Structure 1
Amino acid sequence: MANSPKPTLSLLISLLSLLSLFPPTLSSAPKHAPRFLGKFSRSNNKGPLGAPRYKYETRYFDQTLDHFSFSDLPTFRQRYLINTEYWAGPDRRGPIFFYCGNEGDIEWFAANTGFVWELAPRFQAMIIFPEHRYYGESMPYGSFEEAYKNATTLAHLTAEQALADFAVLITELKRNLSAHACPVVLFGGSYGGMLAAWMRLKYPHIAIGALASSAPVLQFEDIVPPETFYDIVSHDFRRESISCFNTIKDSWDVIESEGQKNNGLSYLTETFRFCRKLESADDLSNWLSSAYSYLAMGNYPYPADFLMPMPGNPIKEVCRKIDNCPDGMSILQRIFEGVSVYYNYTGTVDCFNLDDDPHGMNGWNWQACTEMVMPTSSSKNISMFPAYDYNYTSDEEWCLENYHVKPRPTWITTQFGGHGFKNALKSFGSNIIFSNGLLDPWSGGSVLEDISETIVALVTENGAHHLDLRPSTAEDPDWLVEQRAAEVKLIQGWLHQYFEKKKTVFDM
Structure 2
Amino acid sequence: MLVDRVLQASWLLSAVVGLETRWLQQPIDHNSPASGTFSQRYLVDAKADNGGPLLFFCGNEGDVEVFANFSKFLDEAAAALQGEVVFAEHRFYGQSLPFGLDFSLDHIRFLTVEQALADYARLITFLTASRQRKVVAFGGSYGGMLSSWMRAKYPSLVFAAVSSSAPLHFDRVGGSFFKLMTDAAEEMDSGCADRVRMGFAALEAASASSLQRAFGLCSPPLDLNELVLWARNAFVTVAMGNYPYAGELFGKGLQAWPLRAACRELHGHKPLESLAAAVGSYYNATGKVHCHNISREYRDCADQTGCGTADAAWGRSWDIEACRQIVYFTSTNNVTDMFPPRAWGLEELSQYCSGVWQIQPLSNWFLPWLSSVNTSSRIIFTNGLLDPWRGGGVMQSLSSTLVSLQIPGGAHIYDLAGDHVDDVPGVRAARQRVLTMLRLWLGMPHTAELVVQRSVFGAALRAMVPPKTFEVSRSRSRKWDLEVKSISRDGQDCVGACHWVFKSTSRSIPTDLESRSMPLDPVELWSKTRSADAHSRPSWSVPSARPCALEQWRDKAPAKLESKQLLAGPSYWQSHGNGQGRYGCSAGHLAASTAPAAPHRHQTSRPSTEQASRLDRRGRWRDGASYTSSLRASSLFIGTLEEEQIRGRHSGPKFSPTAAKKLRDLTTVILTSR
TM-score, structure 2 length as denominator? 0.62
1:374 shift after superposition: 1.1
Aligned to 1:29: none
Aligned to 2:361: 407
Q: Could you tell me whether the CA contact under 8 Å between 1:114 and 1:470 is conserved in 2?
A: yes
Aligned partners of 2:510, 2:316: CA distance in 1, in Å? Answer: 45
Residue aligned with 1:201, SS: helix
Aligned partners of 2:62, 2:111: CA distance in 1, in Å? Answer: 13
Aligned to 1:312: 256
Aligned to 1:3: none
* Counterparts in 2 of 1:160 and 1:48: CA distance versus 1, 3 Å: closer
Give runs of aligned pairs for residues 208-247 of structure 1, distance below 5 A: 208-220=159-171, 224=172, 226-247=174-195
Aligned partners of 1:295, 1:138: CA distance in 2, in Å? Answer: 29
Work out whether 1:199 is the aligned partner of 2:142: no
**Aligned mate of 1:67, from 6, 12, 30:** 30
Work out whether 1:434 is the aligned partner of 2:381: yes
Aligned partners of 1:447, 1:85: CA distance in 2, in Å? Answer: 36
Aligned to 2:609: none
Aligned to 2:84: 126
Q: Where in structure 1 are there 5+ consecutive unaligned residues? A: 1-14, 19-35, 259-263, 504-508
Residue aligned with 2:191, SS: helix
1:140 shift after superposition: 0.5
Q: In structure 2, give the amino acid aligned to 1:435.
A: T
1:301 shift after superposition: 1.2
Work out whether 1:99 is the aligned partner of 2:57: yes
Give runs of aligned pairs for residues 168-183 of structure 1, distance below 5 A: 168-175=122-129, 178-179=130-131, 181-183=132-134
Q: In structure 2, give the amino acid aligned to 1:290.
A: N
Q: In structure 1, give the amino acid aligned to 2:175.
A: E
**Aligned mate of 1:292, from 235, 238, 245:** 235
Percent identity reads 33
**CA deviation digits over 1:153-207, x for unaligned, max 9?**
11111111111100001101222xx11x211011000000000011110101111
Work out whether 1:473 is the aligned partner of 2:413: no
Aligned partners of 1:165, 1:384: CA distance in 2, in Å? Answer: 41
Aligned partners of 2:164, 2:312: CA distance in 1, in Å? Answer: 31
* Counterparts in 2 of 1:380 and 1:270: CA distance versus 1, 3 Å: closer
Aligned partners of 1:317, 1:410: CA distance in 2, in Å? Answer: 38
* Counterparts in 2 of 1:173 and 1:481: CA distance versus 1, 3 Å: same
Q: Could you tell me whether the CA contact under 8 Å between 1:184 and 1:207 is conserved in 2?
A: yes
Aligned to 1:357: 310
Q: In structure 1, give the amino acid aligned to 2:109.
A: A
User: Which structure would you say has the larger Rg?
Assistant: 2
* Counterparts in 2 of 1:122 and 1:212: CA distance versus 1, 3 Å: same
* Counterparts in 2 of 1:109 and 1:376: CA distance versus 1, 3 Å: same
**Aligned mate of 1:451, from 398, 402, 406:** 398
Give runs of aligned pairs for residues 362-377 of structure 1, distance below 5 A: 362-377=316-331
Q: In structure 2, give the amino acid aligned to 1:196.
A: S
Q: Could you tell me whether the CA contact under 8 Å between 1:49 and 1:306 is conserved in 2?
A: no
* Counterparts in 2 of 1:346 and 1:95: CA distance versus 1, 3 Å: same
Aligned partners of 2:424, 2:365: CA distance in 1, in Å? Answer: 40
Aligned partners of 1:116, 1:62: CA distance in 2, in Å? Answer: 25
**Aligned mate of 1:337, from 277, 284, 288:** 277
Residue aligned with 2:188, SS: coil
Aligned partners of 1:82, 1:372: CA distance in 2, in Å? Answer: 28
Residue aligned with 1:486, SS: helix
Q: Could you tell me whether the CA contact under 8 Å between 1:49 and 1:305 is conserved in 2?
A: no
Aligned partners of 2:380, 2:209: CA distance in 1, in Å? Answer: 50
**CA deviation digits over 1:287-340, x for unaligned, max 9?**
1111111111011111133334311111221122221x3x4xx21111111122
Aligned partners of 1:358, 1:474: CA distance in 2, in Å? Answer: 34
Aligned partners of 2:422, 2:349: CA distance in 1, in Å? Answer: 42
Aligned to 2:582: none
1:215 shift after superposition: 0.3
Aligned partners of 1:322, 1:412: CA distance in 2, in Å? Answer: 39
284-293 or 375-384, larger mean C-alpha shift: 375-384
1:381 shift after superposition: 2.3
Residue aligned with 2:260, SS: helix
Aligned partners of 1:241, 1:460: CA distance in 2, in Å? Answer: 20
* Counterparts in 2 of 1:213 and 1:225: CA distance versus 1, 3 Å: closer
Count, aligned residues? 435
Q: Could you tell me whether the CA contact under 8 Å between 1:87 and 1:95 is conserved in 2?
A: no
**CA deviation digits over 1:106-127, x for unaligned, max 9?**
0000000000012212222111
1:225 shift after superposition: 6.1
Aligned partners of 1:119, 1:387: CA distance in 2, in Å? Answer: 43
Q: In structure 2, give the amino acid aligned to 1:75.
A: T
Aligned to 1:81: 43
TM-score, structure 1 length as denominator? 0.81
1:132 shift after superposition: 0.3
* Counterparts in 2 of 1:344 and 1:225: CA distance versus 1, 3 Å: closer
**Aligned mate of 2:109, from 148, 155, 160:** 155
**CA deviation digits over 1:330-358, x for unaligned, max 9?**
21111111122111222221112222324
Aligned partners of 2:235, 2:214: CA distance in 1, in Å? Answer: 18
94-103 or 471-480, larger mean C-alpha shift: 471-480
Q: In structure 1, give the amino acid aligned to 2:136.
A: V
Q: Could you tell me whether the CA contact under 8 Å between 2:208 and 2:220 is conserved in 1?
A: yes
* Counterparts in 2 of 1:16 and 1:197: CA distance versus 1, 3 Å: same
1:48 shift after superposition: 4.4
Q: Where in structure 2 are there 5+ consecutive unaligned residues? A: 297-308, 446-507, 513-674
* Counterparts in 2 of 1:274 and 1:310: CA distance versus 1, 3 Å: same
Q: Could you tell me whether the CA contact under 8 Å between 1:52 and 1:111 is conserved in 2?
A: no
Aligned to 2:137: 186
Residue aligned with 1:362, SS: helix
Q: In structure 2, give the amino acid aligned to 1:480.
A: V
Aligned partners of 1:84, 1:492: CA distance in 2, in Å? Answer: 23
Aligned partners of 1:358, 1:314: CA distance in 2, in Å? Answer: 24
1:389 shift after superposition: 4.1
Aligned partners of 2:410, 2:239: CA distance in 1, in Å? Answer: 10
Work out whether 1:493 is the aligned partner of 2:432: no
Q: Could you tell me whether the CA contact under 8 Å between 2:386 and 2:411 is conserved in 1?
A: yes
Residue aligned with 2:170, SS: coil
Q: Could you tell me whether the CA contact under 8 Å between 1:425 and 1:451 is conserved in 2?
A: no
Aligned to 2:72: 114
Q: Could you tell me whether the CA contact under 8 Å between 2:148 and 2:373 is conserved in 1?
A: no
Q: In structure 2, give the amino acid aligned to 1:454.
A: T
Q: Could you tell me whether the CA contact under 8 Å between 1:236 and 1:439 is conserved in 2?
A: yes
Q: Could you tell me whether the CA contact under 8 Å between 1:265 and 1:280 is conserved in 2?
A: no
1:63 shift after superposition: 0.6
Aligned to 1:21: none
Aligned to 2:615: none
* Counterparts in 2 of 1:190 and 1:359: CA distance versus 1, 3 Å: closer
Work out whether 1:280 is the aligned partner of 2:223: yes
* Counterparts in 2 of 1:105 and 1:201: CA distance versus 1, 3 Å: same
Residue aligned with 2:219, SS: coil
Aligned to 1:252: 200
**CA deviation digits over 1:395-414, x for unaligned, max 9?**
11111111112111112223
Aligned to 2:3: 17
**CA deviation digits over 1:67-93, x for unaligned, max 9?**
1235x322000000000323224xxxx
Residue aligned with 1:239, SS: helix
